[in-house]
């Protein structure tokens, strides 16, 4: 447990010190929100959620790429793979929740008539999905640039795709969009439960994906035999 928390803590410290990146990441949801502000509130809130998802997954991507060389040696220093990826995820989720707070308050201050519980749930989904999503991309792609471009593509697709279409459910952030519809347009409860289920399922799948990649990458290799010191 201590190992897990130490990794989480160090992830947190690292991210909070990347002030420039953090600021730019926060700017994105804000501009998303403000651009759509005049037209239609629903669109504005959805963009905001997508922006939060983008910010957190990018942070996760950066954190994962930065730790690429460090993790093998931490593994040798006594960490198990799950300490490393769960600890990092825990740190990222914490950062995600912290940066969500101002964006949760933004529509509130703006005087929007929303189901705020819905907004909170949607934000949770965004953050929940984004951290393992960014980590998975960071683990699979060799460099930050490729990862960032892929994230950008996903976010754009997410923004442009027809949410009612069957393909939309395959996009990672569909859950928060669905719940946002419930929150903004006061639609029936089906939106909420569908969204929540989707969010939970996607988060679980992504966490399992991250776990699988980390376990393979940090596995004990077959050619190496460890004997205790006798």
Backbone angles phi, psi at 37, to 5 degrees: -60, -40
Backbone angles phi, psi at 165, to 5 degrees: -65, 160
Minimum CB–partner distance for residue 157 and other proteins (Å):
31
Query: In the set 10, 22, 120, 159, which binds other proteins (CB under 8 A)?
Result: 10
- Locus of tokens 């942070």: 59
Backbone angles phi, psi at 56, to 5 degrees: -70, -40
The CA distance from 74 to 11, in Å, is 14
Give the count of alpha carbons within 13 A of 158, CB side only.
25
Taking CB under 8 A as the binding criterion, the range among 62-70, 132-140, 151-159, 164-172 that sits at the site for other proteins is 62-70
Per CB under 8 A, which of residues 194..223 are in contact with other proteins?
A: 220-223
The CA distance from 5 to 192, in Å, is 32
Q: Which is nearer to other proteins, 6 or 43 (CB)?
A: 6
- The encoded tokens of residue 11 equal 């992830």
Minimum CB–partner distance for residue 135 and other proteins (Å):
16
Minimum CB–partner distance for residue 78 and other proteins (Å):
3
What is the x/- site pattern for other proteins, positions 155-174, by CB under 8 A?
Answer: --------------------
Q: Does 1 bind other proteins (CB under 8 A)?
A: no
Q: Does 77 bind other proteins (CB under 8 A)?
A: yes
Q: Does 76 bind other proteins (CB under 8 A)?
A: yes
Q: Does 226 bind other proteins (CB under 8 A)?
A: yes
- The encoded tokens of residue 224 equal 């190496």
Q: Which is nearer to other proteins, 165 or 228 (CB)?
A: 228
Q: Does 20 bind other proteins (CB under 8 A)?
A: no
Binding-site residue total for other proteins (CB under 8 A)? 32
The alpha-carbon radius of gyration of the chain (Å, integer) is: 19
């Amino acid at each position: 447990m201590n190992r897990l928390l130490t990794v989480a803590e160090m992830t947190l410290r690292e991210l909070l010190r990347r002030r420039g990146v953090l600021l730019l990441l926060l700017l994105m949801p804000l501009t998303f929100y403000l651009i759509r502000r005049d037209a239609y509130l629903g669109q504005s809130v959805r963009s905001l959620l997508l922006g939060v998802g983008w910010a957190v997954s990018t942070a996760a991507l950066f954190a994962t790429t930065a730790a690429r060389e460090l993790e093998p040696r931490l593994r040798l220093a006594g960490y198990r793979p799950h300490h490393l990826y769960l600890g990092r995820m825990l740190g990222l989720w914490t950062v995600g929740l912290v940066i969500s707070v101002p964006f949760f308050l933004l529509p509130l201050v703006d005087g929007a008539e929303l189901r705020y519980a819905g907004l909170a749930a949607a934000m949770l989904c965004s953050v929940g999905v984004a951290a393992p999503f960014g980590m998975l991309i960071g683990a699979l792609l060799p460099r930050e640039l490729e990862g960032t471009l892929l994230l950008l593509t996903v976010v754009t697709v997410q923004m442009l795709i027809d949410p009612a279409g069957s393909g939309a459910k395959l996009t990672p952030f569909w859950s928060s969009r669905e719940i946002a519809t419930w929150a903004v347009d006061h639609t029936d409860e089906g939106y909420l439960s569908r969204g929540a289920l989707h969010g939970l399922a996607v988060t679980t799948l992504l966490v399992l994906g991250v776990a699988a990649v980390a376990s393979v990458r940090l596995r004990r290799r077959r050619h190496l035999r460890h004997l205790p010191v006798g």
